[in-house]
């Protein structure tokens, strides 16, 4: 194991302020998980926290999925943002961890050396290819009488659970990524 520490508070990291604000996009990140990719980078995944207003009357909302890359050399950069479900604005007394409904699940395909992130949000599920930096699929949680959930499964696959409320049955399937 080798520790790789980067501090934007005492280094001049382009695009990131000393307090962690991503200045180009004007948001902070509520980090949820991290993993190593096949190029030796550490990818941090989380949710963008956007604010507006002044001190004492500030309002915030949780928006996009955010991926921040730390290279093996220690350089930090915003890797990508993907549009996800947004919360309504809330006051500074809002409990951030209760308001963020995003869950992040990593899926790795060693055959293709690809990393995927399943972002399970309140209304939709996003299947994001970290290598290609794009959303491969967007799956709504509710489709008529069917409620859909997606979970990581065996290597390079995801498990899809579909519950039909009208006909009262659950269908499980394993799908390759």
pLDDT for 7 beyond 80: no
- Which bin fits 9, alpha (ψ -120 to 50), beta or left (φ > 0)? alpha
Q: Is residue 37 part of a domain?
A: yes
Q: Is residue 111 part of a domain?
A: yes
Q: Is residue 167 part of a domain?
A: no
Q: What is the pTM of this model?
A: 0.87
* Number of domains forming the structure of the chain: 1
Q: With contact defined as beta carbons under 8 Å apart, do 126 and 83 qualify? A: no
Residue 96 phi/psi, 5-degree rounding, is -55, -45
Give per-residue pLDDT as tens, 82-125: 999 998 988 877 677 778 889 999 999 888 899 999 999 999 99
Q: Is residue 33 part of a domain?
A: yes
**In the prediction, which pLDDT does 177 show?**
86
Give per-residue pLDDT as tens, 49-66: 998 877 667 888 999 999
Give per-residue pLDDT as tens, 122-173: 999 999 999 999 999 999 999 888 999 999 888 889 999 999 999 999 999 9
Q: Is residue 79 part of a domain?
A: yes
Q: Is residue 5 part of a domain?
A: no
Q: Is residue 176 part of a domain?
A: no
pLDDT for 45 beyond 80: yes
**In the prediction, which pLDDT does 13 show?**
74
C-alpha triplet 118, 121, 125: angle, nearest 5°: 50
Residue 69 phi/psi, 5-degree rounding, is -105, 130
Print the domain residue range for 107: 28-138
Of the candidates 20, 89, 90, 92, the residue with the CA atom closest to the CA atom of residue 56: 92
Token digits for 142? 């509710």
């Amino acid at each position: 194991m080798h520790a790789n520490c980067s501090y934007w508070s005492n280094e001049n990291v382009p695009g990131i302020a000393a307090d962690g604000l991503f200045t180009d996009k004007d948001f902070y990140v509520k980090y949820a998980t991290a993993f190593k990719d096949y190029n030796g980078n550490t990818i941090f995944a989380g949710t963008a926290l956007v604010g507006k207003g002044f001190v004492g009357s500030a309002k915030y909302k949780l928006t996009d999925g955010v991926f921040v890359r730390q290279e093996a050399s220690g350089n930090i950069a915003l890797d990508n943002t993907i549009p996800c479900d947004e919360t309504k604005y809330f006051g500074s007394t809002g409990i951030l961890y209760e308001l963020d409904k995003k869950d992040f699940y990593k899926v790795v395909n060693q055959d293709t050396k690809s990393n995927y992130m399943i972002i399970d949000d309140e209304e939709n599920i996003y299947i994001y290819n970290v290598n290609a930096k794009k959303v491969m699929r967007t799956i709504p949680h509710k489709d008529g009488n069917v409620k859909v959930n997606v979970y990581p499964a065996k290597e390079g696959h995801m498990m899809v659970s579909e519950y039909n409320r009208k006909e009262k049955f659950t269908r499980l399937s394993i799908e390759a990524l």
